[in-house]
């Protein structure tokens, strides 16, 4: 199943409800939380994410690019995020954190920066609902897709299939009509697109176009 999760990082935050309405035919709203410590950018925190949840327009896919996710991540589940993703590079006890988030009723994603190997986590895949393979260095929207991550996505898909577990692979960064087929062919099934969606004349049509392209290649 192909899942499209537009990132609101590139939206007009002054008209948040209106911008979310533009993407209502997506599967999730992807909300990037950055703390200016783990990544060199500052976006928004729990109050804004909670506001997005309360609109009820879309389930929220929270991507936490922050230090100390062991402390902060459960709070995003508590306010109603459908999925909470934290970075492997930042978590002190990722398996314990995954259990805690699950207990609060949210799905759990584990994010890997482009240079972070997947293999160190392949024996604990069952703790997670999703592996996020970053296809840019985290911190800013509008970057170019790093195609060198594609082999990692292929290895992750192969390991997930071999383990017989239901784990999605999300890609985030530089996803557009030009790159989504490559990512889907490699094994991704959840696609975060920010600039491609909010920069389009018609966000609704762009989401449909991206979904159609990916569906022709998803495993």
Domain boundaries of the chain, sorted by first residue: 3-215
Contact 196, 10 (CB under 8 A): no
Contacts of 116 (CB under 8 A, 6+ apart): 88, 89
Q: What is the DSSP string of 116-183?
A: S-SGGGGGGGGG-SEEEEESS-TT-SSPPP-GGGHHHHHHHHHHHHHHT---EEEEESS-STTTHHHH
The reply, when asked if residue 30 is annotated as ligand binding, is yes
Whole-prediction pTM: 0.96
CATH of segment(s) 3-215: 3.20.20.70
pLDDT in tens, 135-175: 998 766 667 899 999 999 999 999 999 999 999 999 999 99
Q: CA–CA distance from 58 to each of 26, 29, 61, 177 (Å)?
A: 8, 6, 9, 23
In this prediction, residue 1 carries a pLDDT of 85
Residue 27 catalytic?
no
Contact 31, 218 (CB under 8 A): no
Residue 172 catalytic?
yes
The reply, when asked if residue 195 is annotated as ligand binding, is yes
In this prediction, residue 137 carries a pLDDT of 87
In this prediction, residue 40 carries a pLDDT of 84
In this prediction, residue 208 carries a pLDDT of 97
In this prediction, residue 56 carries a pLDDT of 97
In this prediction, residue 219 carries a pLDDT of 64
Q: Give per-10-residue mean pLDDT for the chain (219 aa).
A: 93 93 97 92 93 97 97 98 98 98 98 96 97 87 86 97 97 95 97 94 97 87
Catalytic entry in 61, 129, 172, 189: 172
Strand, helix or coil for residue 1? coil
Catalytic entry in 27, 32, 129, 189: 32
In this prediction, residue 53 carries a pLDDT of 98
Please state the length of the chain: 219
Cβ atoms within 10 Å, residue 158: 13
Task: Give the phi and the psi of residue 166 in degrees, each rounded to 5.
Answer: -95, 90
The reply, when asked if residue 15 is annotated as ligand binding, is no
What is the spatial distance between Cα 166 and Cα 131, in angstroms, rounded to a whole number? 11
Contact 191, 170 (CB under 8 A): yes
């Amino acid at each position: 199943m192909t899942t499209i999760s537009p990132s609101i990082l590139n939206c007009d935050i002054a008209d948040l409800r209106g911008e979310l309405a533009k993407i209502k035919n997506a599967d999730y709203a992807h909300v990037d939380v950055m703390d200016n410590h783990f990544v060199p950018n500052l976006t928004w925190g729990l109050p804004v994410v909670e506001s997005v949840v309360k609109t009820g327009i879309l389930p929220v896919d929270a991507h936490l690019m922050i230090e100390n996710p062991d402390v902060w991540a459960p709070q995003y589940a508590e306010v109603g995020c459908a999925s909470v993703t934290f970075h492997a590079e930042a978590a002190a006890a990722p398996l314990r954190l995954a259990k805690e988030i699950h207990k609060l009723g949210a799905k759990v994603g584990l994010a890997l920066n482009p240079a972070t190997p997947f293999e160190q986590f392949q024996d604990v895949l069952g703790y997670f609902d999703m592996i996020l393979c970053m296809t840019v260095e985290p911190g800013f929207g509008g970057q170019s897709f790093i195609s060198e991550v594609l082999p990692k996505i292929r290895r992750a898909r192969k390991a997930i299939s071999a383990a017989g577990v239901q784990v999605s692979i999300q890609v985030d960064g530089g996803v557009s009509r030009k790159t989504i087929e490559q990512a889907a062919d490699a094994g991704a099934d959840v696609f975060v697109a920010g600039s491609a969606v909010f920069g389009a004349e018609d966000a609704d049509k762009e989401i449909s176009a991206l979904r159609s392209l990916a569906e022709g290649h998803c495993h």
